[in-house]
Chain A
Amino acid sequence: MAAQLVSMHDIHKAFGPVKVLEGVDFELVAGEIHALMGENGAGKSTLMKILTGIYAPDSGTIQVDGKPVSITTPADAEKYGIAIIHQELNLIPALSIADNLFLGREIQRFGLLDRKAMTKKAMEWLAQVGMEKLDPDTRVERLSVGTQQMVEIARALGQNARVLIMDEPTAALTEHETTTLFKLIRALREKGTGIVYVSHRMEEIFALCDRISILRDGKFVGTRPVPGLAFDEVVKMMVGRTLEARFPVRSSTPGKVRLQVEHISGGMVKDVSFDLRSGEVLGVAGLLGAGRTELARLLFGLDKPSEGRVLLDGDVVTATNPNQAIHAGFGFLTEDRKAQGLVLDLSLRENISLPRVPAHVGLVDRGGEKTQTRGLIDALKIRTRDMELNVSALSGGNQQKVVLAKWLALKPRVLILDEPTRGVDVGGKAEIYHIINQLAEQGVAILMISSELPEVLAMSDRILVMHEGHATALLDAHGATQETVMTAATGGH
């Protein structure tokens, strides 16, 4: 048995009347990759925020190296070698790598910044994460998300972190970056670092982790070693029941052509053509930066196409802003629901009716709005006590359903979904897939951009694969495999 690094015991935490954690245990040993799983709202983030000193627990004990400690500030956590790599990266874009690495702990000589020493040290730290080729003077905004993450890890290691908490680290990474990251995580494990890996991605967890701890509704369900563990068992522990199917089956077949995209170009997108039928789900696969979101932005009037045209039910559509696109019959669920999808300070009701507030000559029809909201909350099984609750109080899966509800209220003819299940837990994913199927069965034409290949393969009728702005393949989903999609996505034929 390896040395115990961290042990949290009987942790309780409540925010006002809401109990977020009720007697949770968590244990991390040196040299292990320990997955922390649970549906959104199960308490994973709160537990990790307690371990990193952002929240104080109401009761419970924390031990580091077998000794009881009190972690009440992030500085305490740092002192005990505990570091977290957030989902939203915490680097300052306009500063250089070296500036970021030493932010708040700059090396000084006679009260002045000692740039030479910091650059030298920065290179050592970057080498620790296999990034010795990076120039520490590069500004962070010029780095890819994956590289930025490496810089964050380098910073944590530079501060002698022995416990590294990673929150959905691969959410924004390309396949290649993910591989690099996993290599690094495994190397860190060999050196005795304890890694807490918070993720919803089952495949990754089974490939990478040694043990899994599971939370459900703020309670500790159990810890299991990964070898010999069945996928279904984990899901069952997380949701408290067995899911019928990970990807529900759709019963309908696509109808007539609804959307025709002809040789459209603009920005990154180069000469892309495809048809989309009513009741069809067209998956759009590709690596990060392949131009998938940019394609959606062109269709939705956010960017201007330089060439090509779009026909909706036979009529040419020229939308130069989202308002026109919406009136033409488009809906667009964006990939970043907090920054682009929701107004967090507004209620469910107000968010859902944002694209079209039920109104008579500009005066809000409160009754109609409530009826519409209630109908959508029921139809999408959004779990909330109250439609007046701020959406910021909802879990990720429920927030995503609110964004979906917002578009469904408009009864769109074409619905563009950009990463519809990002940051959504297993149970929530299945529900969103179910909604997508229902929409398709009602005849909505769906363009589904996704970086999760199993999702694209299972949910689509056909798959459009993009690479560097071009459409490199249009595959029938039934014959396609991860390999054929990846080949096209990397530009191979």
Chain B
Amino acid sequence: MTLQLNWSQAKTLFQRLGSVIGLLLLFIVLSVLSPDFLTTGNLLTVLRQVSINALIAFGMTFVILSGGIDLSVGAILAFTGAITAGLMAAGHGMVLSVGAGLALGAVLGMVNGALVSWGRVAPFIATLGTVTLLRGLTLSYTQGSPIPVTNPGFAMLGGGYIANLIPLPVIWMAVAFILCGFLLRGTVFGRHVVAIGGNEEAARLSGVRISPMKLAIYGLSGLLSAFAGVVLTSRLYSAQATAGAGYELDAIAAVVLGGTSLAGGRGWLFGTLIGALLIGFLNNGLNLLGVSSFYQQVVKGIVILIAVLLDRRQ
């Protein structure tokens, strides 16, 4: 069998491979510039750091593919993390606390979905509103001070290792990637996400029920953000009211770097993983090279702009 690609497929493939090529180039450059870069320890550390952003960005990919945006991911992360830690501090078990945190994240996401679908509020505005609301709730709940976690089993979720080598968050990232990838490519749900982003009216007229779909899409984003919150809380042994500030921008950057169109209807999950890795390795490399954190932001911003310019569609 010969591999036949038509013109548009070839073009899409090339555009998509851009982010992979970028990651490879970054890898090569950093390996040459810093002897500490290409070590198992360093690479696994970066993967662990990336995992939080990747989890959020996977959910964000669904939202953006459907033509929306979710600015509330960082706030959901902080609030659900605080509730989870608070429940454990009050003496509840780990399973119940984590379960409640995840369920809360999904529900909060669905609230976003309800605002967007039934409330007909633009996703940007709706989720901007929930950010402020949730940040306020988190501050009231924690009274501004961190909630410490002592449960040793819980601490494993974000701090544990498999075979004393691979950090558990990396495993969560891999599992979430496989599940989300399957959800997107292998299920009717995933098909409908892309169809809504491509042409919501056509999807609606084809019998796709837009409102329940949006509830589910934002709910998924909320769930993954809450999971990231659990992992982060576990890793830090405490929940902080200000956790996750600015995470929404990193997640959106990962999605866009990965080649998913902000207009919706076009994109892939693998690209998001690559995008998250790009951001993670860039941060790591700049650290290793001793670039001040002020300039790191500048470099990151420039890289994102260049990537988006290169990826610009006609």
Chain A residues close to B by CB (< 8 Å): 15-18, 300, 302, 321-323, 325-327, 332, 334, 339-346, 350, 353-357, 359, 362-364, 385-386, 388-390, 393, 406
Contact = CB atoms under 8 A, between A and B. Distances in A.
Contacts of A340: 199, 201-202, 205
Contact of A393 (B8, B203, B206, B209): B8
A346 B199 CA distance: 10
B205 A334 contact: yes
Contacts of B265: 343, 345-346
A352 to B, nearest CB: 10
A491 to B, nearest CB: 31
Contact of A332 (B201, B203, B205): B205
Given A15-B7, A325-B207, 18 more contacts: A16-B7, A300-B205, A302-B205, A326-B206, A326-B207, A340-B199, A341-B205, A343-B202, A344-B198, A344-B199, A346-B265, A350-B191, A350-B194, A354-B203, A359-B188, A363-B188, A364-B187, A389-B6
B8 A354 contact: no
B308 interface: no
B195 interface: yes
Given A357-B188, A364-B187, A388-B9, A322 B205 contact: yes
A322 B208 CA distance: 8
9 residue pairs, one from A and one from B, having the closest CB atoms: A343-B198, A326-B207, A354-B206, A16-B7, A323-B207, A343-B199, A355-B206, A357-B188, A345-B198
Given A354-B208, A385-B6, A341 B191 contact: no
B204 interface: yes
Contacts of B208: 323, 354
A294 to B, nearest CB: 15
B7 A342 contact: no
A291 to B, nearest CB: 19
A1 B115 CA distance: 67
Contacts of B8: 389-390, 393
15 contacts: A17-B7, A18-B7, A302-B205, A323-B207, A326-B207, A327-B207, A334-B205, A345-B265, A346-B194, A354-B195, A354-B202, A355-B207, A364-B191, A389-B8, A390-B8
A325 B206 CA distance: 10
Contacts of B205: 300, 302, 322, 332, 334, 340-341
Nearest to B7: A16
Interface residues of B, number: 24
Q: Which residue, B9, B194, B202, has most C-beta atoms of chain A within 10 A?
A: B202
Nearest to A326: B207
Nearest to B265: A345
A15 B191 CA distance: 29
A341 B188 CA distance: 19
A357 B198 contact: no
B204 A343 contact: no
Contacts of B207: 322-323, 325-327, 355-356
Nearest to A356: B207
B246 interface: no
A79 B87 CA distance: 73
Interface string B186-229: 11110100110011011111111100000000000000000000
Contacts of B235: none
Contacts of A346: 194-195, 198, 265
A300 B205 CA distance: 9
Q: Which residue, B186, B191, B199, B266, has most C-beta atoms of chain A within 10 A?
A: B199
Interface in B163-196: 186-189, 191, 194-195
Contact of A323 (B187, B189, B198, B209): B209
Contact of A386 (B6, B188, B204, B209): B6
Contacts of B199: 339-340, 342-344
B7 A363 contact: no
Contacts of A390: 8
Contact of A322 (B189, B194, B206): B206
B6 A364 contact: no
Given A321-B209, A340-B201, A350 B188 contact: no
Nearest to B190: A364
B266 A345 contact: yes
A406 B201 CA distance: 15
B258 to A, nearest CB: 17
Nearest to A358: B188
A354 B210 CA distance: 13
Contacts of B198: 343-346
